């Protein structure tokens, strides 16, 4: 009964972890199928069955040799029978490295967050929030559109900035004692460096190994707004949530906006020129409610006015939020709307106050809100 579902899964999804863990259970029924086929052929075509059997054996040997080569190249280590050893560091590789680093830091039953779902949490006997969503239902089912989709799961890069994914808010909500992340992933998401703190200071760097960074929950108390449903937000300015986008009055597709406007997505920056203004118009889908505005950038050489206007088709009120980025001071504009504002249109504008063109490097442009689908997801998990 399980063979057909496994065949369908492997045929459509594929093997996302090297080692063919899903294909292995299929080897026995496939061998039986091959044996029955050769038996049938021997009864009908005796002379043909022997060459076919030899061909099947030869192809199996070639496939096995190719698999070993691919395995050693992908895993960067020799196969077991080439260098037999009972040393767990050699057999479990990077996972053993994480295990050894975590062992003195955890106690049985402790809750951690880790981008893995198996070996390390199991051996340590800890509760694990799997940040790729393989075994954590909240993360696996989160209706987020701007995650980085990988062969393994959905990846949400962590930075020192405030939570800008519902999954990040979930980490603050569940408050694991430790967060374990790959150093290579952290440096990619943080401009080549390993930040000393994550999620606006909720986690501090505890230890760094060759492949992993371990962050410990700091003493900073959780913001009450972050552990309520209104604190679980997504960046509605991200092209994945947009129905229409126009840059300086010129309409563009969401796919083009991803390349042209990296400040709207994770870990990107862009140089702009307010000449005398630079504008961005976004129509998000689904009539979401905006709860927070967050804009960062480098210090401008001259004063620049930042304006964000939220327009609702069902509400005559169109609040406008303004911030002056002073010359020589890093741009940081953050504003929280406690009750939120139903928004169908987002208008963002940077204007030179003195008149001449002003260059400005934008780091992040986020209009944090909550979609109806996300509200329903929170309700299913009892987060009110």
Give the list of residues 6+ apart from residue 10 with CB closer than 8 angstroms, or none: 22, 23, 26
198 is written with which tokens?
């994550």
Taking residue 142's Cβ as centre, other Cβ atoms within 10 Å add up to 24
**Which domains are present in the chain?**
3-75 (no CATH), 91-227 (no CATH), 235-370 (2.60.120.260)
pLDDT digits (tens, 9 = 90+) for 236-282: 999 888 889 999 999 998 888 888 888 887 767 889 999 999 999 99
Q: How confident is the model at residue 368 (pLDDT cuts 50, 70, 90)?
A: very high
Residue 18 has pLDDT above 60, yes or no: no
Cα–Cα distance for residue pair 141/364, rounded to 1 Å: 26
Are 3 and 29 in contact by the 8 Å Cβ rule? The answer is yes
Are 239 and 287 in contact by the 8 Å Cβ rule? The answer is no
Q: Give the three-class secondary structure for 219.
A: coil
Cα–Cα distance for residue pair 133/156, rounded to 1 Å: 10
How many residues are given for the chain? 384
pLDDT on residue 32: 78
**b/e per residue, 273-312, with b = 16+ CB within 10 A?**
ebeebbebbbebbeebbbbbbbbbbbebebbbebebbbbb
What order of strands is seen across the sheet that includes strand 111-114? 127-130, 111-114, 178-182, 212-217, 203-208, 197-198
Please tell me whether the peptide bond between 144 and the residue prior to it is cis, using omega within 30 degrees of 0.
no
Task: Give the side-chain half-sphere CA count within 13 A for 269.
Answer: 12
Q: How confident is the model at residue 286 (pLDDT cuts 50, 70, 90)?
A: confident
pLDDT digits (tens, 9 = 90+) for 51-92: 888 888 888 888 878 877 877 777 667 776 677 767 676 677
Residue 196 has pLDDT above 80, yes or no: yes
Taking residue 250's Cβ as centre, other Cβ atoms within 10 Å add up to 8
Q: Give the three-class secondary structure for 34.
A: helix
Are 211 and 76 in contact by the 8 Å Cβ rule? The answer is no
Are 140 and 177 in contact by the 8 Å Cβ rule? The answer is no
Residue 331 has pLDDT above 90, yes or no: yes
Residue 384 has pLDDT above 90, yes or no: no
Cα–Cα distance for residue pair 12/8, rounded to 1 Å: 6
Residue 24 has pLDDT above 70, yes or no: no
């Amino acid at each position: 009964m399980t063979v057909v579902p496994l065949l369908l899964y492997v045929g459509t999804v594929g093997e996302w972890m090297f080692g063919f863990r899903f294909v292995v259970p299929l080897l026995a029924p496939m061998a039986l199928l091959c044996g029955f086929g050769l038996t049938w052929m021997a009864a009908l075509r005796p002379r043909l069955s022997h060459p076919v059997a030899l061909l099947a054996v030869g192809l199996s040997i070639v496939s096995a040799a190719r698999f070993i080569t691919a395995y050693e190249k992908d895993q960067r280590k020799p196969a077991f029978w080439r260098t037999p050893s009972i040393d767990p560091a050699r057999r479990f590789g990077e996972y053993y490295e994480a295990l050894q680093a975590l062992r003195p830091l955890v106690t049985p039953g402790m809750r951690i967050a880790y981008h893995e779902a198996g070996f390390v949490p199991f051996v340590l006997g800890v509760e694990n929030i799997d940040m790729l969503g393989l075994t954590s239902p909240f993360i696996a089912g989160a209706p987020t559109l701007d995650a980085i989709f990988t062969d393994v799961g959905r990846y949400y890069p962590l930075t020192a900035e405030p939570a800008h994914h519902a999954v990040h808010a979930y980490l603050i909500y569940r408050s694991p004692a430790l967060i374990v992340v790959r150093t290579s992933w952290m440096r990619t998401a943080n401009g080549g460096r390993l930040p000393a703190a994550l999620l606006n200071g909720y986690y501090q760097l505890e230890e760094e190994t060759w492949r992993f960074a371990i962050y410990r929950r700091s003493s900073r108390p959780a913001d009450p707004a972050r552990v309520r449903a209104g604190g679980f937000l997504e960046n509605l300015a991200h092209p994945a949530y947009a129905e229409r986008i126009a840059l300086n009055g010129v309409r563009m597709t969401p796919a083009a906006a991803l390349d042209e406007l990296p400040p709207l997505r994770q870990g990107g920056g862009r140089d702009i020129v307010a000449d005398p203004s630079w504008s961005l118009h976004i129509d998000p889908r689904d009539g979401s409610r905006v709860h927070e505005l967050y804009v960062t950038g480098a210090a401008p050489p001259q004063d620049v006015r930042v304006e964000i206007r939220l327009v609702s088709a069902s509400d005559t009120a169109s609040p406008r939020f303004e911030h002056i980025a002073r010359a020589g001071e890093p741009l940081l504009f953050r504003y929280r709307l406690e009750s939120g504002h139903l928004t169908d249109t987002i208008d963002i504008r940077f204007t030179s106050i003195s008149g001449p063109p002003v260059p400005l490097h934008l780091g992040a442009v986020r209009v944090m809100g909550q979609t109806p689908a996300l509200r329903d997801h929170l309700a299913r998990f009892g987060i009110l």
